[in-house]
């Protein structure tokens, strides 16, 4: 049964790898507008900075 679960997990990982392309996502963001892309990138950076700050305090 453990072998089946690991095989299922690997299959899902391969499926996600082929179906989700980061280049497509970034292209769609910038198609929506350069300012939308810039704001999105800044928000992601701020989120990462905030999470790292929380982790370092512990």
pLDDT digits (tens, 9 = 90+) for 3-46: 777 778 888 777 767 766 667 777 777 777 888 878 888 999 99
Is 52's pLDDT higher than 70? Answer: yes
- Name, in order, each residue with C-beta under 8 angstroms of 36's C-beta and a sequence gap of 6 or more: 29, 30
DSSP letter assigned to residue 20: -
Q: How many alpha carbons fall within 13 Å on the CB side of residue 8?
A: 5
Q: Can you read off the two tokens belonging to residue 6?
A: 């690991």
Mean of pLDDT values over 42-54: 91
Backbone angles phi, psi at 53, to 5 degrees: -65, -40
Is 1's pLDDT higher than 60? Answer: no
Question: H or E stretch including 56?
Answer: helix 34-57
Confidence of residue 47 (pLDDT cuts 50, 70, 90): very high
């Amino acid at each position: 049964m453990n072998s089946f679960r690991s095989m299922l997990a690997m299959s899902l990982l391969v499926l996600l790898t082929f179906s989700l392309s980061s280049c497509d996502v970034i292209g769609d963001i910038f198609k929506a507008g350069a300012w939308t892309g810039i704001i999105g990138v800044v928000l992601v950076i701020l989120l990462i900075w905030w999470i790292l700050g929380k982790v370092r305090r512990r």
